[in-house]
Amino acid sequence: MKKNSLFKSLMIILGAIVLICAVLAVCGYFVPSLEGMFSMVPLLDIPITYVQALYYFFDTVFFLLILGAFYGVLNEVPAYKKLVDKISQKLKKHSKLFVFITIGLFAVLTSVTGLMGALLVFVPFFVAVILSLGYDKLVALSSTIAAMFVGFIGGIYVTFMDPNNSYYGYAATTFEEFVGAGKCDNLIPKLVLLVLGVTLLIFFVNRYINNVQKKKVKYELNESNEVTVSEVKGDYKNIRTWPIIVLFGLLFVLFVLGYLPWNTLFGLNIFDNFNTWLVEKVVIGEFAVFPNIISSSISGGSLAFGYWASLGSYVCMIAVLIIATLLVKVIYRVKFDEAIANFVSGAKKMVPTVLLLCLAYTILVISYNHGLVANVITWFTDSLGINVGTTALVSALATLLHSDLYYVIAGGLLPAMNSVTDESLFATYAMTFQSVYGIVSLIAPTGLFVIFGLKYFDVPYSTWCKYIWRFVLMLLLLVLLVVLVMSLI
């Protein structure tokens, strides 16, 4: 029963959307102001939309499958087991400190890069280490997934594709720049949110750990082999772990270099110039080496560092993970048949996660294509006006129904900002919207990170809600306090 709580929650939301669309469409016949604004969702269109969602977000789906396949191969490599054991043994006496450092690490990296998708690649590794230290999955998910959302709330350089630009172009922007405020207008408040948010999460996790040790609280969590690794066989001392450490380091560096928009964010064009040099100068006669041999995307600048997201949020990550999997196979001399079997097995373990995620994206496609959120927000802001409270409600609704950040912006923030007349409040509204997105994403069943964390690591959604709601409430009060101070200054 508890295992299916995430699926049930998604189905309830989907059913509610279909019903609300039907009611509003019928009301349009009697209320002139609603006429033509809403349309019904035909029931037979829902399974079709599910398939469309798989098509629209294929790169995300494929990324998760490849991520599962990557760890499927890695989990069977003795060196990975040794690395996890080695870290846990050295940190056994300071296990709490490691958990707190992990929280700070994921939060700070999210704040200064905004690359939550890239950081997701490293979550299974840190979860494996935390579990090997004797903590449960709730502590592990709090230290990684929850910490990333804390970092997002205090995100200094969180960027996304600007919906005002052409879909086929690429223009990364921050929340502040998108609404017309200065890029650094919210720097101090965000640093305050980051520091206090991390402190609050550490306090919350530490209190939970102490309560578990005192047997004051206990959640029944099913064991899951997705986060465990195989036992080491053979000569333990001769197994080399440094290649995996180097590999993880290279993955992180490549993701940061590739996805952080260096030009639009910092005005650095060094990578653009280097890409131009590769295209125009590295030639044999009139034959351009890199565009013809490596990739034609180099000519368009899509593979230049800082522009990887222009190919799709996860396309380049998929390619890098496939190459990383091949390197693991070669370095540790994994037999070809075993590598293929583990690769497929790892991908299969991710299938339930992918199926649930497609259901969340079905909710997104229906609510976005039928204009439900945009029209409700427009009506809401026109009736009540735009202020911090309505901005928070708009963000919460858009986040719940639009699981992808781009569509949260396009379907939520964009129509809401059309009602703003006081330019002095642009920065406040931007931070409110960003903060509420992070808070709601911590507990909403429609988000990629919650679905991945709970389904892949086999944690019931009801258990997660019972555990995290107090922290969500504390975080909300913290954000409201900071926003209130901002509005008074």
pLDDT tens track for 448-475: 999 999 999 999 999 999 999 999 999 9
Alpha helix (H) residue ranges in 142-297: 147-153, 175-179, 187-213, 242-259, 262-266, 270-280, 289
* Residue 284, SS3 per DSSP: strand
Domain locations in the chain as residue ranges: 2-21+38-261+306-488
What's the average model confidence in pLDDT over 362-368?
Answer: 91
Q: Which of 72-81, 336-345, 387-396, 438-447 has the lowest mean pLDDT?
A: 387-396
pLDDT in tens, 295-315: 777 777 678 888 888 887 899
- Average pLDDT score over the chain: 87
pLDDT over 70 (residue 34):
no
Q: Which of 13-27, 358-372, 429-443 has the lowest mean pLDDT?
A: 13-27
Q: Which of 228-232, 273-277, 443-447 has the lowest mean pLDDT?
A: 228-232
Which pTM was predicted?
0.92
Quickly tell me which residue has 């082999």 as its tokens.
Answer: 225
Residue 208 CA to residue 218 CA, distance in Å, equals: 10
pLDDT over 60 (residue 232):
no
Which has the higher per-residue pLDDT, 194 or 176? 194
Quickly tell me which residue has 């019904």 as its tokens.
Answer: 40
What's the average model confidence in pLDDT over 261-265?
Answer: 87
What's the average model confidence in pLDDT over 83-100?
Answer: 92
Q: Which of 156-160, 378-382, 459-463 has the lowest mean pLDDT?
A: 378-382
What's the average model confidence in pLDDT over 315-342?
Answer: 94
What's the average model confidence in pLDDT over 185-196?
Answer: 93
* Residue 298, SS3 per DSSP: helix
pLDDT over 60 (residue 392):
yes
Nearest Cα to 265, choosing from 163, 190, 175, 179? 175
* Residue 302, SS3 per DSSP: coil
What's the pLDDT at 133?
A: 92
% the chain with pLDDT above 70: 91
What's the pLDDT at 288?
A: 81
168 pLDDT band, cuts 50/70/90, is very low
pLDDT over 90 (residue 252):
yes
What's the pLDDT at 293?
A: 78
What's the pLDDT at 1?
A: 45
What's the pLDDT at 228?
A: 53
121: which DSSP letter? T
SS (H, E, C) 222-259: CCCCCCCCCCCCCCCCCCCCHHHHHHHHHHHHHHHHHH
Give the range with max mean pLDDT: 71-75, 370-374, 401-405.
71-75
What's the pLDDT at 169?
A: 46
Amino acid at 167: Y
pLDDT over 90 (residue 361):
yes
Residue 58 CA to residue 156 CA, distance in Å, equals: 29
213 pLDDT band, cuts 50/70/90, is confident
Residue 165 CA to residue 241 CA, distance in Å, equals: 46
What's the pLDDT at 170?
A: 54
167 pLDDT band, cuts 50/70/90, is very low
Both tokens of residue 16?
A: 């509610």
Q: Which of 238-242, 279-283, 336-340, 343-347 has the lowest mean pLDDT?
A: 279-283
pLDDT over 60 (residue 13):
yes
What's the pLDDT at 173?
A: 86
pLDDT over 90 (residue 410):
no
231 pLDDT band, cuts 50/70/90, is low
What's the pLDDT at 484?
A: 86
Quickly tell me which residue has 């490293």 as its tokens.
Answer: 122
pLDDT over 70 (residue 235):
no
